[in-house]
Amino acid sequence: MEHIKLSVEKTLNFVDREEIFKYKEESEKHLTALHEGTGKGNEYTGWVNLPSKITAVELKDIQETANHLKERIEVLVVIGIGGSYLGAKAVNDALANNFDMLQADNENPLVIYAGQNISEDYLYELMEILENIEFGICVISKSGTTTEPALAFRLLKELLEEGVGKEEAKERIVAITDESKGALRTLADQEGYKTFVIPDNVGGRYSVLTPVGLLPIAVAGHDITKLVEGAKAMQKYTVATDFEENPALLYAATRNALYSKGKEIEILANYNPKLHNIAEWWKQLYGESEGKENKGIFPASVDLTSDLHSMGQYIQEGKRNIFETVLSIAKTKYKVVIPKDKGNLDKLNFLAGKRVDEVNKMAELGTQLAHVDGGVPNIRIELPELNEFYIGELLYFFEIACGVSGYILDVNPFDQPGVEAYKSNMFALLEKPGFEEETKKIKERL
C-alpha cells in the first residue's frame, strides 16, 4: 500500500542525522504513551485509536443523516469555531471543485460556515442571502454557550423557523454536542433535533474524524468511509513502522531538532490552492497544542507560488529563525497542456507541449533549492494524489506527530488554558452577570 511520504533530506545542512535520531527512543516512548493513554492530558487522547474504532454502523448513521439533509436543503450552515469547523472546511475545500460556488447544478448542498467570528456585517449578509435559500444548520458545540457559535445559532435558528416553521426546521437542524450535559444538549432534547455526540475524550482540534467533521464532509458529497480508511491506514503504519521510516516520528523529531537550533517558526507551504484550509486546520492543531509555558514553534503558512510574490522575499532573506514544511501532490486530477502561440509575445513558447503541473513542480523544486541555499531548512510531505484516502492519512499523520512533538517539548498538547483570557475580558467588558468584580477592575484599566 502506498502512503504519504516524508523527506527530511533538505534539513541535514542545518541539523545532522544524529541530532534528529537522538529523539528516536523518546519519540517512540511518547507514541506508546499516546496509544496507552499514559502521558500528559491522557483524558483527551480518545482520537489516537479513533480511526480503528469507528464502526460501519456509525458511518451509516452519519451518511443517512447527510442524505436526509440533502433532500431538503441547498445550503448547509456549519456553526462552530476552532476545531468545530476547521477540519470539515479543510477537507471540503481540498476535495471540492475550485469553483463550486459558480456551478448551478450542484448535486450536493453548498457547505458554508458561521459562528467562527462576531462580525455583524458577516451575519447580516449571511441572513440576507439565506432568506431566499433552502438551508439547514449543523450546530457544533460541547457546551452550547461558546459566544461565537451560540450567537450565530440564536440568529439562524430564528431565521429558519420563521421561514419554514418549527416542525420543518427541526428536520433541518442537527446538533453535535455533549452526550448528556450542556445548553445545546438540553435544547436539542427539548426540540427533538437529530444529534451526534462529541466524545468527552476528544478535544475540538482533534475532532475532524468524529461527527464534527464527518457529517459536513458527507453533506458536501465526499466519501467519509475512504477518509476514515486513510486515517486507519496511517494509524497502523505509524504503530508498525520503525523510526527511520516512520513519517510521524521523523516529523516530530526533525522539527524539535530544528527548534533546538533556533528555528522557532514553521511555515507550511503548498503548491495547490485546495490545500489552503488544510494549513488553517494545521495552524490551530499545532499552535494550540504546543504554544504554552513560553514554548512552542510558531505555525505559519503560505500559498505558493502566489505568496512567492509577497512573502517570498522574507522567506529568502529575512530573519533566519524559520523552516518550511512543503505539502506536495504527486499526481493531479486533470491534465492541461500549454499551447504554442504564434506571436510568442509572452516568451513562453519554450513551455509549449508541457503540462501546467510540470511547470508547477519545477517552481516547487526551484523554490526549495533557493530557500535551502538562503538558510531555510525544508521538510517535504508528498501525497500520491488529492483524494479522501490520502487526506485521511495526512490528518492522522499531523495529529499523531503533534502529540509526540508536544510531549518532546514537555507540554500538555491537549489543553488550551490561554484561550480563556480573552473570554474573561470580553465578558467583563460586556457586563455579563457574575462578572461584576472583573467589570469593575477592567474599567479601571481603560
Catalytic residues: 288, 309, 423
CA angle 82, 273, 373 (to 5 degrees): 100
Dist CA 8 CA 203 (whole Å) = 30
Helix (H) or strand (E) holding 78: strand 75-79
Is the C-alpha dihedral spanning 354, 336, 277, 232 positive or negative? negative
Asked whether the beta carbons of 172 and 69 are under 8 A apart, the reply is: yes
Dist CA 422 CA 274 (whole Å) = 32
Helix (H) or strand (E) holding 427: helix 420-429
CA angle 385, 389, 395 (to 5 degrees): 95
Asked whether the beta carbons of 421 and 257 are under 8 A apart, the reply is: no
Asked whether the beta carbons of 404 and 34 are under 8 A apart, the reply is: yes
Asked whether the beta carbons of 388 and 109 are under 8 A apart, the reply is: no
Give 170's contacts (C-beta < 8 A, 6+ positions apart): 191, 192, 193
